[in-house]
Amino acid sequence: MSTDQQLLPDAHALLDEAPCGLVVTKEDGTILRSNKTFSHSIGLDTQAIIGRRFQELLTMGGRIFHQTHWSPLMQMQGSVAEVKLDLVHHDKHIVTMLLNGVRRKHASGAFYELALFRTKDREKYERELLNARKIAEDLLCEKTAAETALRLAQEELKNAYEKAQVRAAFAEQMVAIVSHDLKNPLTAIKMASGILAREERTTRDSRMLGHISQSADRAERMIGDLLDLALARVGQGITIGPSTVNLHAFVGASVDELRMTFPEATLVHQTMGTGSACLDADRVQQIIGNLVANSVKYGDLRQPITITSRIEQDNSVVSVKNLGPAIPESLMGVLFEPMIRGEITGTDSRSVGLGLFIVREIVRAHNGVVSVNSTQESGTIFTAKFPMV
């Protein structure tokens, strides 16, 4: 016999202290043998169990189940597996166990060999498993309901967005049509005021004609901005016709015209570098006009407004600087969006808030970029940079 075998307990001890209850009965259920594990499970001494019938240890429901199910199965098929039974403990509480059994024939007759396992931990595990399954099913229901609600909300949002797009497109088309149609009567007003101004007039009449002409000019600029907005929003974009131009020359000419438009401001033109640029001169003059008008509205007119044209190796640059108050940080992110305006100064040159938006769109049409830098110390400078090609 090996050393390991010598260390093992004897067969009787192994049977008596096995990790499950072991019982041997006659076919009528009379208990012939029981180990300590089973005795401890039901709270009875081993000697108190021997001679009793196994079904006497069961609850009433367990006895009925024994009589109608597992006892006939043992006789017919010779075994049962994982039959759940309720036994009555000595102190009257219920002990639930799983039974596995076989029917063996011996010379002296047939016997039932039963192995019984406590199900406390297993029942706890099963309950936890069922609870987890129920929680998972509830979460799945909530997820499905949330997905359904989200889908419906997305559909409603999509429908609302499409309706809003249709309304916005219609409104922009109407703006474009009305703005275009307004140009004709404005042109007639300007021509009529020009003709009347040539004749001898009293000072009062001349002053009134001047107001009419200035108002017509402002209305014409607003209509031009609205038309550009409509073109940009409808999707066609602002159109340009670039050609090779002398940057310093046409910027200087634009500044000269603006001096007449804004006589209250001091406009200074600075040039840097030499060479030509590929630009739509009319559109870039529109950029300069909008930026100068913006500087007149928000800048300090006691200080000069500086317009700089600069030729670089890869870019042509136009910038407008004023020494007025810094732009609030809250406006910097939306400054170039339409209908965004700074503090109203009360000047006659106020607009509908499209000037910087038009500037950005014209620069984009040239494949360029526009930027702004504004501090209290150095003032505000708008810079439009256009690629040479």
Does residue 194 share a domain with residue 132? yes
Query: Exposed, middle or buried: residue 232 (CB in 10 Å: 0-12, 13-18, 19+)?
Result: buried
Does residue 367 share a domain with residue 247? yes
Residue 388: which residues within 8 A CB-CB, separation 6 or more? Answer: 277, 278, 313, 314, 315, 316
Tokens of 259: 């001096």
Query: Exposed, middle or buried: residue 364 (CB in 10 Å: 0-12, 13-18, 19+)?
Result: middle
Does residue 212 share a domain with residue 263? no
Residues in the chain: 389
The Cα–Cα gap between 47 and 283 comes to 112
Which CATH number covers residue 211?
1.10.287
Q: Are strands 267-272 and 305-311 parallel, antiparallel or unpaired?
A: parallel
Q: How many domains in the chain? A: 3
Query: From first to last of its 389 residues, what are the pLDDT tens digits of the chain?
Result: 555 555 566 667 778 888 889 999 998 999 999 999 899 989 998 888 999 999 999 999 989 988 888 888 888 899 999 888 899 999 999 988 889 999 998 888 889 999 998 877 666 777 788 888 888 888 889 989 989 999 999 999 998 888 877 766 666 666 655 555 566 676 677 677 777 777 777 777 777 777 777 677 667 666 666 666 666 665 556 777 888 999 999 899 989 988 888 889 999 999 999 888 999 888 898 899 889 988 998 899 999 999 999 999 889 999 999 998 898 888 888 888 876 655 444 444 444 467 788 888 889 888 999 999 999 888 999 999 999 87
Q: Are strands 21-26 and 277-279 parallel, antiparallel or unpaired?
A: unpaired
Which pLDDT belongs to residue 131? 86
Buried b / exposed e over 27-66, threshold 16 CB at 10 Å, is: eebebebbbbbbbebbebeeeebeeeebbebbeeebbebb
Does residue 303 share a domain with residue 323? yes
Does residue 194 share a domain with residue 95? no
Residue 220: which residues within 8 A CB-CB, separation 6 or more? Answer: 183, 186, 190
Q: Domain end: 118, 141, 172, which one?
A: 118
Which CATH number covers residue 359?
3.30.565.10
Q: Domain end: 206, 234, 262, which one?
A: 234
Q: Domain end: 181, 199, 234, which one?
A: 234
Does residue 184 share a domain with residue 228? yes
Place of tokens 């949330």: 146
Which pLDDT belongs to residue 171? 61
Does residue 248 share a domain with residue 157? no
The Cα–Cα gap between 192 and 209 comes to 10
Does residue 200 share a domain with residue 166? yes
The range of the structural domain enclosing residue 329 comes to 243-387
Does residue 137 share a domain with residue 56? no
Which pLDDT belongs to residue 344? 41
Which pLDDT belongs to residue 350? 40
Does residue 254 share a domain with residue 230? no
Which pLDDT belongs to residue 182? 64
Q: Is the pTM value of this prediction over 0.75?
A: no
Does residue 356 share a domain with residue 298? yes
Does residue 261 share a domain with residue 370? yes
